[in-house]
Each structure stands twice: as C-alpha cells, then as structure tokens.
Amino acid sequence: MILGIICAMQEELDEITKELALTPVNRIDLCSNSYSVYTSGSHTIVSGVCGIGKVNAAVTTQLMIDKFTPDKIINVGVAGSLSQNLVFGDVVIAEDLVQHDFDITPFGVRLGQIARMDTFSFPTDSSVNKLILDNLALPENKIVLGRIVSGDQFIDDKSKAEFLAKEFDAVACEMEGAAIAHVCYLNKLPVCVIRSLSDMAGQDGEAIHSFNDLKFMAAARAAKVVVNLLEHI
C-alpha cells in the first residue's frame, strides 16, 4: 500500500520519521515543498510538510495525489482542545471535519457549509479509524473519535473555543485537516486525521504558551498512533 502522510510542520513529521526510523529513498521538490519517499515493511510511505493553513494543505494534498498516487492519506499533528474533558497529549481521531471559517451565512446557509457542495462535513475512513481505536492504548492519554474543525485562525480565545465546540459539536481545532479531507473527498480517496492536543485553544488563557511548550510532546503522541497503525494496516 502507498500511504501519504501530510503534516503541517516539520516538527510533526520529524517525530514520525524518528519513531519509524525512516530514511528517505527518494526526495522530490514540487511547488516550494519537498516530498520524501520511504519504505516501511510492505508499505511505501510518501511524506509532505504542507505548511500552515487550508490553502497550503490543499495544494500539498492534490500534488501528493497526482504525483504519488497514494491509496490513503493520513494527516498527523497537533490541535487545540475544544473540550474540557480532553487535555494535553490526548489524541483525537477525526470522525469528520468542517471548515469553521467558511461563511456564507448571509445566504441563509449554515456556518461551515461549503457553497454548492453535497456534504456539510468531510468524512474520514471509518475502517482505519476502527483499526486505530481497536488496537491502540496510550497509557497516559485518552484517545477519542470526534469532529475536528479547521480554519485559517489560531484559536486562543475561550469564548471562540466554546462557540466552535457548541456550533459544530467539535472536540478539537486546527488549521489544515478539513482542507485535506475536502481534497480527498473530491478525489474519492480515503483520509484519516490524527491529532494530539498541544493546547486548550484559549480555554485556559494559555494557548500560545502551551502550543510552544507542548507541541513536541503532542506531535510525539500523534506519531505513536501512526506507528501503531502501520503495524495493523
């Protein structure tokens, strides 16, 4: 199987290549980004660091699909918690994703609904999600299935975090996952989004500090999920 792994930040990908002891067999530069190819057991892995935000994420996803023909795409990294019950290091597997900043509400359309699309949220691969949840136990952390929302905003505000949680029934926020899932939806390609929580998205007034201090820890937790998944997929 060819698995595409997309991370927003190099720090997130480094935790995965470190855990899996991956050394690239090939590297290709495309559209200001580099893509690496590795062999892991019977699988081929292609990785890309997309950069921050939905446009960067969409470009990398489509280029990866076109150039490397992955069977599945996995987006891995960190996120902010929108729940009081999920804290630093806990892992959210996205059941589906919504772009929380897509706003055509003046037309009477629900916030997050993309104009003229036949879906409100972008679903992930339920069989991969099940594989993860059935096989993984992280001793120190919770691992949950839930909705993730993405937008071109770093959420560092208690009332905004509470609004997103309530409006979308979401448990975590980040800036790329829904765009990656959107591109995969258009390409009819299975996608999985694995995020570990680096901060409370402002619920505790400390999002920036937490993010800076805990992003490596959270990225390492998310990487452990990928390692475990690769053993079972």
Which one, 61 or 198, has the nearer CB to ligand ADE?
198
| Residue 220 near ligand ADE by CB under 6 A | no
| Residue 201 near ligand ADE by CB under 6 A | yes
What does 177-193 look like in DSSP terms, one character per residue? HHHHHHHHHHHT--EEE
Size of residue set near ligand ADE by CB under 6 A: 13
For 78-157, where are the alpha helices, taking DSSP H only? 126-135
| Residue 82 near ligand ADE by CB under 6 A | no
Residue 66 C-beta: closest distance to ligand ADE, Å: 27
Q: Tell me the C-alpha distance between 17 and 105, whole Å.
A: 42
Q: Tell me the C-alpha distance between 57 and 59, whole Å.
A: 6
3-class SS of residue 40: strand
82: closest CA among 152, 151, 136, 157?
A: 157
| Residue 80 near ligand ADE by CB under 6 A | yes
12 is catalytic: yes
Q: Are 149 and 101 in contact (CB under 8 A)?
A: no
| Residue 12 near ligand ADE by CB under 6 A | no
In the set 64, 198, 220, 224, which binds ligand ADE (CB under 6 A)?
198
DSSP 8-state secondary structure symbol assigned to residue 106 = G
- 């280029």: which residue's tokens? 63
Q: Which residue of this chain has its Cβ atom nearest to ligand ADE in the complex?
A: 80
Catalytic residue among 66, 199, 204, 206: 199
Q: Tell me the C-alpha distance between 68 and 52, whole Å.
A: 22
| Residue 207 near ligand ADE by CB under 6 A | yes
Q: Are 149 and 170 in contact (CB under 8 A)?
A: yes
| Residue 222 near ligand ADE by CB under 6 A | no
The DSSP H or E segment spanning 81 is strand 72-81
| Residue 78 near ligand ADE by CB under 6 A | yes
Which one, 175 or 183, has the nearer CB to ligand ADE?
175
Residue 71 C-beta: closest distance to ligand ADE, Å: 27
Residues 155-174 that bind ligand ADE (CB under 6 A): 155, 173-174
Please identify every residue annotated as catalytic.
12, 199
Binding residues vs ligand ADE (CB under 6 A): 78-80, 154-155, 173-175, 198-199, 201, 207, 211
